[in-house]
Amino acid sequence: MAIRIPPRQLFIDGEWREPVKKHRIPIINPSTEEIIGNIPAATAEDVELAVSAARRALSRNKGRDWASATGAHRAKYLRAIAAKVTERKAELAKLEAIDCGKPLDEAAWDIDDVAGCFEYYADLAEALDAKQKSPVSLPMEAFKCHVLREPIGVVGLITPWNYPLLMATWKVAPALAAGCAAILKPSELASVTCLELAEVCKEVGLPPGVLNILTGYGVEAGAPLACHPDVDKVAFTGSSATGRKIMTAAASVIKPVTLELGGKSPIILFEDFDLDKAAEWTIFGCFWTNGQICSATSRLIVHESIAAEFLDRLVKWIKNIKISDPLEEGCRLGPVVSEGQYEKVMQFITTAKNEGATILCGGVRPQHLKKGFFIEPTVITDVTTSMQIWREEVFGPVLCVKTFSTEDEAIELANDTQYGLGAAVISKDLERCERVTKALQAGIVWVNCSQPCFCQAPWGGNKRSGFGRELGEWGLENYLSLKQVTQYISDEPWGWYQSPSKL
Ligand code: NAD
């Protein structure tokens, strides 16, 4: 039976509101290609309403508004959101799986992470109260100084479709913990669970305007948010191409941005490691979330002495991956998110073939699935460093492989990319792992694993993968502004204009 998703509106000022232009975007189930509902399409007019609502949330009821409330007060709402998310876990996970195609088990893991992230930032919001006035020691006794950490203000949060609710949470939770009011613009390709977050906020009585959620297209809703003069900061996660546009828009009104962008991360496998364990991490590192992970370790750099045997083993593991509708029990690989993404990934594979690479396995739609945007997990060998498949982010279940003979060569291959998000090194020799870790140009390095992510640790990249860090205490800092307060405490006059000067 076809699944239908109940229609929702935009969430502005604590209320559901129809978009001013009344446009809607169809929701397509990537497993069945059926239209299963629709979401509202916001435009600049709705952005205007949401920004005003967020501004009001920071200024109304003097002394009791969101920004000047204690962290402990804000933490209560974050904990209530976490509790509601946990209560609705099964339903939210199912919606996520249907909307973006990720296996249900993964989606359930995401929802746990969402709740965990709200709880974590509730802790940090409480801790913020104690850090509110940090003293600074000065070299002149006549002065005393402290630093206030204040919310930046109204923030625009623009997020992608691969972890719809989790990527939104990575921004919403610290922004709210810091005392900001936010406008979230999730991806037009997967917004269903973000609209459910709006419902959760309503249920827990989050004050109106503190979080506004505008679904819609990037150009129609994201762009006006990014360049809005009354939005104090933009935090963006998405492709490097859009990141460039966001940065340009923010530059026009000199507002800070954090950018979490794409990647083409390497995984280096040395010859001394257990091959089956390495195969599992290699697969998880590249095919988790159907290969649509910014930090996917999609370039395997394997020692030449084990390459043939390892690839043999890898293909055997890959053949055991259950590819199915994400709601089927045991599913480990679902469809990519949309027809556009399916075509893009298939085009990458065709170009690789045309450029002389070999498709070791996959590269096609699974025979048993006639509908849906499914692509078999694909391994590509005989790759050169000038090929598109080596250089560009695919964002699909595609791994490309090169061999190396020396440690230096492996590092050089790993760093041979415009990106700098993640990297993995696999070896029993931990001294070697440490050496290689230091040499890798990446914001995240996994040792003897790939992809595990914890909300306590900083997340973000270098080079074209962006700048700024999310998660951990660094994630909270993104939404705080420092104010220096310096007081003259001497009873003596300052004396600069006395003659002779006392200074
Ligand atoms: P995308 O850049 O197409 O879209 C991201 C968001 O930006 C969407 O909400 C979209 O509507 C909006 N947008 C598009 N054009 C815009 C514009 N002109 N102005 C303002 N907003 C605009 O990215 P995507 O396809 O949704 O996501 C995939 C990309 O995200 C991949 O490159 C992936 O690597 C990256 N990503 C990075 C991280 C990270 O942590 N570094 C995490 C997840 C995804």
**Ligand 1 contact via 263 beta carbon (within 6 Å):** yes
Which amino acid does the sequence have at 151? P
Instruction: For residues 405 and 413, give the distance between their C-alpha atoms in angstroms, rounded to a whole number.
Output: 11
From the CA of 188, give the closest atom in ligand 1.
Answer: 11
Enter the pTM of the model: 0.96
Q: How far is the CA of 215 from the centre of ligand 1 (A)?
A: 14
pLDDT score, position 212: 98
Q: How far is the CA of 194 from the centre of ligand 1 (A)?
A: 15
The structure tokens 């070896």 sit at 427
**Ligand 1 contact via 164 beta carbon (within 6 Å):** no
288, 289, 290, 291: CA torsion to nearest 10: -70
CA angle 29, 31, 32 (to 5 degrees): 70
Q: How far is the CA of 136 from the centre of ligand 1 (A)?
A: 40
Instruction: For residues 311 and 198, give the distance between their C-alpha atoms in angstroms, rounded to a whole number.
Output: 46
Closest CA to 263 of 424, 419, 468: 419
**Ligand 1 contact via 161 beta carbon (within 6 Å):** yes
Q: How far is the CA of 186 from the centre of ligand 1 (A)?
A: 9
From the CA of 245, give the closest atom in ligand 1.
Answer: 18
Per-residue pLDDT of the chain (503 residues; tens, 9 = 90+): 456 687 899 999 999 999 999 999 999 999 999 999 999 999 999 999 999 999 999 985 555 589 989 999 999 999 999 999 999 999 999 999 999 999 999 999 999 999 999 999 999 999 999 888 899 999 999 999 999 999 999 999 999 999 999 999 999 999 999 999 999 999 999 999 999 999 999 999 999 999 999 999 999 999 999 999 999 999 999 999 999 999 999 998 899 999 999 999 999 999 999 999 999 999 999 999 999 999 999 999 999 999 999 999 999 999 999 999 999 999 999 999 999 999 999 999 999 999 999 999 999 999 999 999 999 999 999 999 999 999 999 999 999 999 999 999 999 999 999 999 999 999 999 999 999 999 999 999 999 999 999 999 999 999 999 999 999 999 999 999 999 999 999 999 998 887 665 55
In this structure, are residues 298 and 265 in contact, taking their beta carbons and an 8 Å threshold? yes
pLDDT score, position 65: 87
260 is catalytic: yes
- Half-sphere exposure (Cβ direction) of 343: Cα atoms closer than 13 Å: 3
Residue 117 structure tokens: 């992230």
DSSP letters spanning 407-431: HHHHHHHHH-SSEESEEEEE-S-HH
In this structure, are residues 269 and 291 in contact, taking their beta carbons and an 8 Å threshold? no
Nearest protein Cα to ligand 1, atom 11: 218
Find the helix or strand (DSSP H, E) in which 258 lies.
Answer: strand 257-260
90, 92, 95, 96: CA torsion to nearest 10: -110
**Ligand 1 contact via 291 beta carbon (within 6 Å):** no
From the CA of 243, give the closest atom in ligand 1.
Answer: 2
Which amino acid does the sequence have at 210? V
Nearest protein Cα to ligand 1, atom 30: 238
**Ligand 1 contact via 121 beta carbon (within 6 Å):** no
**Ligand 1 contact via 442 beta carbon (within 6 Å):** no
461 Cα distance to chain centroid: 11
Instruction: For residues 269 and 278, give the distance between their C-alpha atoms in angstroms, rounded to a whole number.
Output: 8
Options 194, 294, 400, 433, the catalytic residue: 294
Instruction: For residues 29 and 226, give the distance between their C-alpha atoms in angstroms, rounded to a whole number.
Output: 29
Domain ranges of the chain: 11-261+465-485, 266-447
Instruction: For residues 351 and 92, give the distance between their C-alpha atoms in angstroms, rounded to a whole number.
Output: 38
pLDDT score, position 503: 54
Q: How far is the CA of 162 from the centre of ligand 1 (A)?
A: 9
If phi over 0 gives left and psi between -120 and 50 gives alpha, with beta otherwise, what is residue 34?
A: beta
Q: For domain 11-261+465-485, give the CATH number.
A: 3.40.605.10
Q: How far is the CA of 113 from the centre of ligand 1 (A)?
A: 20
> Residue 378 class from Cβ within 10 Å (0-12 exposed, 13-18 middle, 19+ buried)?
buried
**Ligand 1 contact via 93 beta carbon (within 6 Å):** no
Closest CA to 156 of 252, 246, 23, 261: 246
DSSP letters spanning 104-146: HHHHHHHHHHHHHHHHHHHHHHHHHHHTSEEEE--S-TTEEEE
In this structure, are residues 116 and 166 in contact, taking their beta carbons and an 8 Å threshold? no
CATH superfamily of 266-447: Aldehyde Dehydrogenase; Chain A, domain 2 (3.40.309.10)
User: For residues 256-286, b (16+ Cβ closer than 10 Å) or e, as one string?
Assistant: ebbbbbbbbbbbbbbeebebeebbbbbbbbb
**Ligand 1 contact via 215 beta carbon (within 6 Å):** no
Residue 406 structure tokens: 């020396």
Q: For a pocket test of ligand 1, which of 183, 189, 237 has the largest count of ligand atoms closer than 8 A to its C-beta?
A: 237
Beta bridge partners of 423: 445
Beta bridge partners of 484: 147
Instruction: For residues 18 and 20, give the distance between their C-alpha atoms in angstroms, rounded to a whole number.
Output: 6
Neighbours of 157 (CB within 10 A): 27
In this structure, are residues 126 and 64 in contact, taking their beta carbons and an 8 Å threshold? no
